[in-house]
Amino acid sequence: HVDSAETVTEKVATILRSDGCIFVVIPIVDRQFAIGDFNALVHEHMYYFTLGGAVRLFENYGLEIASYHMRNDAGYFKLKRSMGGIRNNAIRYEFPLEHARMSFDIQLEKFINILKSDERILFYGATNGLNNLFHLSRQQIDIDYEKFRVTDSDPSKWDKYLSSHPLPILPSDRTADYKTICISALSFYDEIINRLDQDKVIISIGSL
């Protein structure tokens, strides 16, 4: 949520004491791009990083990673001053766009095949990515929306609509009405899994 990641990082490196550290949380999109999930890019962030791009940003301004961990699609970094100092190299952000585009095309084709089936499926996660898939799919096929409903854990979304789905988002307790659940909010995959009964057939929109 900053106008210039480079300016902020440079300023931090300048004022950070030699024995100091800083904690940084930034979006890391490697996992989502690898499976063709573009949900990350329709959120409110100003910057999106691969893990390698984040490391190069830090190193370019004389910072090194003391420790880090990933949670959902965010990277939590503890940074300290690097013994090598500021590099002043051009920063390169590497996004595997061609791979992501190919993965997304494959995902869309599989999504359309799901919508052609006779199975009733509840999509868990009223995300922009799911909305985009419905939008692109309905340009190619007629969709029986009654068979393919959407739910979400967020009560503020219940009875609202995805712009590409004419039926309202269901409360999350409606999962009991469906045998097959497709998790479409991949950033919250583990949390959603823990909410579902074990007798459900669970698939991920990233593995269609």
Over its length of 208 residues, how does the chain's per-residue pLDDT go in tens digits? 788 999 999 999 999 998 999 999 998 888 777 765 666 665 667 788 888 889 999 999 999 999 999 887 789 999 999 876 555 554 444 555 566 667 778 888 889 999 998 899 999 999 888 898 899 999 999 999 999 999 999 999 999 999 999 999 999 999 999 999 999 887 788 889 998 988 889 988 766 6
Specify the CATH number for the domain of residue 20: 3.40.50.150
The answer to whether position 97 is within a domain reads no
| Per-residue pLDDT at 82 | 84
pTM to 2 decimal places: 0.65
Same domain, 151 and 188: yes
**Is 187 found in the same domain as 108?**
yes
Q: Do 58 and 127 belong together in one domain?
A: no
Residue 21 belongs to what domain range? 5-81
Residue 121 located in a structural domain? yes
In our burial notation (b when 16+ CB lie closer than 10 A, e otherwise), range 91-107 reads eeeeeeeeebeebbeeb
Structure-block tokens of residue 94: 């590497």
Same structural domain for residues 67 and 112? no
Do 129 and 187 sit in the same domain of this protein? yes
Same domain, 118 and 176: yes
Cα 53 from Cα 65, distance rounded (Å): 13
Per-residue confidence (pLDDT) for residue 186, from 0 to 100: 77
Q: Is residue 11 part of a domain?
A: yes
| Count of structural domains, the chain | 2
- Report d(CA 138, CA 115) in Å as an integer: 10
Tell me which DSSP letter residue 89 carries. P
76, 143, 147 from 139: Cα distances, Å? 40, 10, 18
User: How many CA atoms are closer than 13 Å to the CA of 55, on its beta-carbon side?
Assistant: 8
Residues 111 and 199 placed together within one structural domain of the fold: yes
Asked if residue 98 belongs to a domain, the reply is no
Based on the fold, state whether residues 138 and 194 are members of the same structural domain.
yes
Whether 114 and 201 map to the same domain: the answer is yes
CATH of the domain at 162: 3.40.50.720
